[in-house]
Structure 1
Amino acid sequence: MKLQGKTLFITGASRGIGLAIAKRAAADGANIVIAAKTTEANPKLPGTIFSAAQEVEQAGGAALPLQCDIRDEASVQAAVAEAVARFGGIDILVNNASAISLTPTPDTPMKRFDLMFGVNVRGTYLCTQTCLPELVKSARAGRNPHVLNMSPPLSMREHWFKGHVAYTMAKYGMSECTLGHAGEFRPLGIAVNSLWPRTAIATAALQMIPGVDIKMCRKPEILSDAAYLILTSDSKTTTGNFFIDDELLAQHGITELDGYSVVPGTKNFIPDFFVD
């Protein structure tokens, strides 16, 4: 059990991709800190930190549900302190929480702009900064520490910017954290990588975007399985990468992907953004 006894701090883990990553790690017996905002059920967006904790425990892990706004420094500091008090440290940070608005400039209110930059860029940077002392301790103890940002490969093509400049800048801000922190933390033995899907992923949040056919998507489990491969790799050598889910799985001999399809047998999937 490669992640048994390890502690993962996962942002936005109350549902979707974050929860799938949490449950995959929990199957090894990992400790999962569910750092998210949702404490009360919403029929349009199911999942709370408490329901996620139940699913993590059912999967075989220990769960600590913490209400946390990753835009707020005090909130993140308190969550990290509570995680350390409960589990004794943090070995892995998964920066999964993200805000999206696929809108052109005239249709992007500054409040939405600030939300995307506050969650995607500031939140990723803040969580990494706050968890860093614990990740350093993890490295010194030989516990293979990782930071995983759920963000895309950097591609400076007009195509990826022109339809939604604000969103692209915000997601690329997360990826720039990967690029910079990988170099900064390499001497410390802390890995920093990004992971991104080839296709659209069927999540509750995606279903709120008009016109998306969920039947032409893959399940979050393709990302959780890919994330597991990254988080169990050697932190001293596997760092600074921008992984694409199906490419990474293929590198590990996993080429039969039909089980990840929402509808088995699907050949034409909705492509995700930012993959050239």
Structure 2
Amino acid sequence: MSTDAPVALVTGASRGAGRGIARALGSHGCKVYVTGRSISRSETKNGTIQATADEVTAAGGRGIAVQCDHGDGEAVAALFAQIEHDEGRLDILVNNACAIQDALTEPGTFWEKPISLGRMIDVGVKSSYEASWHAAQIMVRQGSGLIAFTSAPGAVHYCLGPAYGAHKAGLDKLAADMAVDLDGTGVSAVSIWMGALATERLLGMIEADPVKYGHLADALETPDFTGHAIWALFNDPELKQLSGQAVIGAEMATRYGFTDANGKIPSSARDTHKVAPRENYKIIVR
């Protein structure tokens, strides 16, 4: 790797998991590009990419906010062109952007909810594919890099409906198949299962319906936790052995010896839900 500060891109980083991941990478000294659609507080009541970039810098790295709608292919291409022009490299891509809507957690079957929930497959799976395509152009040329996807146990069990499930399962499969093509290039692709996150959205859900969601309160991971997992993976000299796998963030903490902010390692979905990432067959058809 370069002796300069590693360059990372975290998509969908105005709030939630992306914000925490970017902040964590900043604490390890990374230069982090953070993307999202909202750059100023006047545009949204929620978080902004500029606020995230400021937190990255405060944590010890350097945060750079770039407004980007990951549903817009031209905007995404321009983003990567900017990174390549300004940095000449990209070490870590974190595919986190997703079109989450409040209706996702409301009661009802998929046909009773807005059809627009299906945009999670567009700004989620499709956008992650496109970002990875651009990142691979840079990383393969430099002979190194990590493409990470933020996934969850909903990839293998029903959770919040078929759009969410297809999104998470799709990310795991992108990592698996991209790793086949990336074999021998020095670039790895890994999907990371996050646990229940202490994000603004989930904390609000717990407060609004403690009967339904209150059991999650004692099992939450900080949004930063996955960022530390990504950093540990990036620095693993044996990372290629994990390329193509969906891994559980809590198990990566045990593997690499780090904890969450409370000094503890969260429980693994393998223990709490008795589920594990699917294994891909070794068959390759070209």
Scaled to the shorter chain, the TM-score interval is 0.7 to 0.9
Residue 259 of structure 1 aligns to a residue whose secondary structure is coil
Q: Does 1:111 align with 2:116?
A: yes
> Deviations for 1:132-189, whole angstroms, at most 9, x for unmatched residues?
11111221xxxx3000000136865xxx238612210122111110111011111212
Q: Which residue pairs with 2:197 in the alignment?
A: 201
1:174 corresponds to which letter in structure 2?
L
In the alignment, residue 217 of structure 2 is paired with which amino acid?
Answer: K
From the superposition, tell whether residues 253 and 31 of structure 1 become closer, same or farther in structure 2 (CA, over 3 Å). closer
Task: Give per-residue Cα distances to partners, 1:203-241, cap 9 Å, x unaligned.
Answer: 013235452447332222322222221122234333112
Alignment of 1:164-243 (within 5 A): 164-197=161-194, 199-209=195-205, 210-211=208-209, 212-213=213-214, 215-216=217-218, 217-234=220-237, 235-243=239-247
Relative distance call for 1:260 and 1:11 in structure 2 (3 A) is farther
DSSP-derived class of the 2:10 partner: strand
* TM-score, reference length from structure 1: 0.82
Q: Is the 8 A contact 2:68 2:79 kept in 1?
A: yes
Match of 1:61 in 2: 61
Q: Which residue of 1 aligns with 2:51?
A: 51
Pick closer, same or farther for the CA change 1:163–1:62 going to 2, 3 Å.
Answer: closer
- In structure 2, the CA distance between the partners of 1:163 and 1:273, relative to structure 1 (3 Å rule), is farther
Q: Call closer, same or farther: CA 1:227–1:260 in 2, change over 3 Å.
A: farther
| Matching residue of 2:284 | none
Whole-angstrom CA distance in 2 between matches of 1:56 and 1:145:
20
State whether residues 34 and 53 of structure 1, in contact with CA within 8 Å, keep that contact through their aligned partners in structure 2.
Answer: yes
Does the residue aligned with 2:184 lie in a helix, a strand or coil? Answer: helix
The number of equivalent residue pairs is 261
| Partner amino acid, structure 2, of 1:229 | A
Paired with 2:145 and 2:163, the residues of 1 have a C-alpha distance of 31
Greater helix proportion: 2
Mapped to 2, the partners of 1:215 and 1:72 lie a distance apart of 36
Work out whether residues 8 and 32 of structure 1, in 8 Å CA contact, stay in contact via their aligned partners in 2.
yes
Contact 2:155 2:172 in 1 (8 A): no
Q: Alpha carbons of 1:3 and 1:225: their partners in 2 closer, same or farther (altered >3 Å)?
A: farther
RMSD: 3.2
Q: Answer yes or no: is 1:146 the counterpart of 2:146.
A: yes
Flag the 1:95–1:260 CA change in 2: closer, same or farther, 3 A. Answer: farther
> What is the aligned partner in structure 1 of residue 99 from structure 2?
99
C-alpha deviation, 1:274, in angstroms: 9.3
- Residues in 1 aligned to 2:42 and 2:203: alpha-carbon distance in whole angstroms: 14
Structure 1's consecutive aligned runs of 4 or more residues displaced over 6 angstroms after TM superposition are 271-274
CA 1:81–1:274: 2 relative to 1, 3 Å:
farther
Structure 1: 5+ residue runs without aligned partners?
none
For residue 98 of structure 1, report the CA deviation from its aligned partner: 2.2
Matched AA of 2:177: G
Cα distance in 1 for partners of 2:71, 2:196 equals: 26
| AA of the residue aligned to 1:119 | V
* Alpha-carbon distance in structure 2 between the residues aligned to 1:154 and 1:16: 17
Counterpart secondary structure, 2:171: helix
State the TM-score, normalizing by the size of structure 2: 0.79
The one-letter amino acid of 1:108's match is K
Partner of 2:279: none
Taking the aligned partners of 1:177 and 1:83, their CA distance within structure 2 comes to 23
Residue pair 2:146, 2:189 contacting (<8 A) in 1 also: yes
Matches of 1:32 and 1:238, distance apart in 2: 24
| 1:81 CA drift (Å) | 1.1
> Which residue in the other structure is 1:125 paired with?
129
Consecutive unaligned residues in structure 2, runs of 5 or more: 277-286
Alpha-carbon shift at residue 58 of structure 1 (Å): 1.2
